């Protein structure tokens, strides 16, 4: 049963609020000890960068930011818990949501000002795919890496422990259409749907014709697999590691092994919000950049973050389900363990946060590949409309966050195919397996 959306911190019990407050104080003290935050709450020497007066004063002081219970909501939550928001003259109110469809609807109708949201969802809404059409904006990328594809223990016991094993099993185990192999993603135009499709296709499985793909909200993935509603799923942490802890699933592949340093969640809002409240948008970006920098700064900070977001107000799981994979300590549920240098990054010296135009364009190429878009859009023009490059540069520069030289980047995906954004239509059409 899905948890009803709650407004935080208003709905906490008094005891929970007291515990969170005590935790917040210890976190701020820990941050001060690292030298990232002065005890006054300001980073030394950056007082002049604060947008809090005159024409730069945030137009809107309270900002409701929706999030889904996932590890990668952490920089939004910690910006609020640690008080980075106050430094820039805003108050972030994190609001817990039940599904990505709910996040989409509340962004579009203005119930939420911003959201921790799937990259492809923002692009889909902008083009009217998967919901009402509305001009949207990506302010920044919140994280790279840190998702995975989980297969059920039942499939693993039959030899499906990776993509090749799954393809072999599905070819041999031809099921009636009503009982076909079923896999779950979190939103049709979202990141997890595209990682799942890309991985399956790279292993010779057509996700449209050879499998049934359903949509399930992230916090409900493990429960649905437990009762046999799907054979596998793609989702963010901590739900892949939770499936291993509960003995019902194994990790077939991490998304960083599909695309190293891939874009994942973004800070999304509407085009209307950015036009009406540019100073507010910039202030929130600066606060969240600070929070991401704090998380990535030390092992101690990552563990403090895990303790904070595990609370029922946020992700609502055990600390143990979160704290291993954020440190790069992986296991696959079959006895294999490894240290992954490409684990979830919230800052990575600024490299994780820049809203590259090519990142947004990649999702459009996959939407076209799988029939979500009937025709090729003007890929670059759409990305320029959505990704707020100039606003991001202002926010990053003000707090001395490194900026890349180019608004495009080049990456090699798991199948050896290079994506650099230079010829998106050709790239989208080049795949053997497509809708």
pLDDT at 272: 98
Check whether 317 has a pLDDT greater than 60. yes
Task: Find the helix or strand (DSSP H, E) in which 251 lies.
Answer: strand 249-254
- pLDDT band at 132, cuts 50/70/90? confident
- φ, ψ for residue 316, nearest 5 deg: 60, 60
Tell me the mean pLDDT in the region 407-412. 98
pTM (2 decimals)? 0.89
Check whether 42 has a pLDDT greater than 50. no
pLDDT at 36: 47
- The whole-angstrom separation of Cα 418 and Cα 424 is 11
Angstrom CA distances, 114 to 43, 66, 140, 191, stand at: 25, 6, 11, 18
> Which own/partner pairs from 175-182 qualify as long-range (CB within 8 Å, at least 24 positions apart)?
180/210, 180/211, 180/212, 181/210, 181/211, 181/212, 181/231, 181/232, 182/211, 182/212, 182/213, 182/214, 182/229, 182/230, 182/231
Cβ atoms 61, 319 nearer than 8 A: no
Q: Express each pLDDT in 137-186 by its tens digit.
A: 999 999 999 999 999 999 999 999 999 999 999 999 888 877 899 999 99
- pLDDT band at 27, cuts 50/70/90? low
Paired tokens of 154: 């039942």
Tell me the mean pLDDT in the region 312-339. 98
pLDDT at 47: 39
Cβ atoms 118, 191 nearer than 8 A: yes
Q: Express each pLDDT in 207-263 by its tens digit.
A: 999 999 999 999 999 999 999 999 999 999 999 999 999 999 999 999 999 999 999
pLDDT at 23: 52
Percent of the chain with pLDDT over 70: 88
pLDDT at 51: 46
- pLDDT band at 3, cuts 50/70/90? very low
Task: Find the helix or strand (DSSP H, E) in which 236 lies.
Answer: strand 232-236
- The whole-angstrom separation of Cα 265 and Cα 25 is 28
What number of residues does the chain have?
A: 435
Tell me the mean pLDDT in the region 53-81. 94
pLDDT at 86: 98
Angstrom CA distances, 327 to 236, 263, 296, 321, 401, stand at: 15, 19, 10, 12, 23
pLDDT at 173: 86
pLDDT at 40: 35
Q: Which of 69, 14, 46 is nearest to 286 (CA)?
A: 46
Looking at domain 6-144+263-328+344-398, what is its CATH homologous superfamily?
A: Periplasmic binding protein-like II (3.40.190.10)
pLDDT at 145: 98
């Amino acid at each position: 049963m899905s948890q009803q959306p709650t407004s935080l911190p208003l709905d906490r019990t008094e005891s929970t609020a007291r515990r969170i407050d005590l935790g917040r104080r210890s976190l701020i003290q820990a941050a001060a000890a690292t030298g990232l935050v002065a005890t006054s709450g300001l980073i030394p020497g950056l007082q002049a960068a604060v947008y809090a007066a005159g024409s730069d004063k945030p137009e809107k002081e309270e900002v409701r930011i929706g999030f889904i219970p996932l590890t990668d909501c952490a920089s939004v939550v910690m910006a609020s818990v640690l008080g980075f928001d106050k430094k820039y003259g805003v108050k972030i109110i994190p609001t817990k949501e039940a599904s990505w469809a709910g996040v989409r609807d509340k962004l579009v109708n203005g119930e939420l000002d911003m959201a921790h949201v799937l990259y492809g969802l923002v692009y889909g809404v902008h083009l009217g795919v998967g919901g009402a059409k509305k001009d949207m904006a990506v302010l920044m990328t919140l994280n790279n890496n840190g998702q995975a594809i989980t297969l059920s223990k039942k499939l693993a016991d039959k030899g499906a422990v990776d993509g090749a094993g799954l393809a072999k099993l599905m070819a041999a185990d031809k099921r009636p259409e009503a009982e076909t192999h079923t896999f779950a993603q979190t939103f049709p135009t979202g990141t997890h749907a595209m990682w799942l499709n890309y991985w399956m296709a790279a292993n010779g499985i057509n996700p449209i014709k050879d499998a049934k793909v359903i949509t399930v909200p992230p916090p409900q993935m493990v429960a649905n697999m437990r009762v046999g509603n799907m054979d596998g799923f793609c989702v963010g942490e901590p739900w892949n590691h939770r499936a291993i802890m509960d003995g019902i699933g194994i990790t077939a592949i991490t998304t960083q092994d599909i695309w190293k340093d891939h874009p994942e969640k973004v800070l999304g809002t509407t085009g209307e919000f950015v036009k009406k409240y540019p100073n507010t948008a910039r202030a929130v970006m600066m606060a969240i950049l600070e929070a991401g920098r704090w998380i990535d700064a030390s092992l101690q900070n990552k563990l403090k973050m895990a303790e904070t977001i595990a609370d029922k107000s946020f992700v609502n799981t055990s600390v143990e389900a979160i704290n291993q994979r954020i440190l790069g300590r992986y296991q696959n549920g079959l006895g294999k363990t490894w240290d992954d240098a490409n684990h979830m990054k919230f800052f990575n010296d600024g490299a994780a946060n820049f809203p590259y135009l090519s990142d947004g364009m990649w999702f459009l190429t996959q939407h076209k590949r799988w029939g979500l878009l009937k025709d090729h859009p003007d890929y670059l023009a759409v990305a320029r409309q959505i990704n707020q490059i100039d606003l991001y540069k202002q926010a990053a520069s003000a707090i001395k966050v490194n900026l890349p030289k180019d608004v495009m980047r080049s990456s090699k995906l798991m199948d050896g195919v290079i994506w650099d954004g230079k010829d998106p239509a050709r790239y989208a059409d080049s795949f053997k397996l497509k809708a």
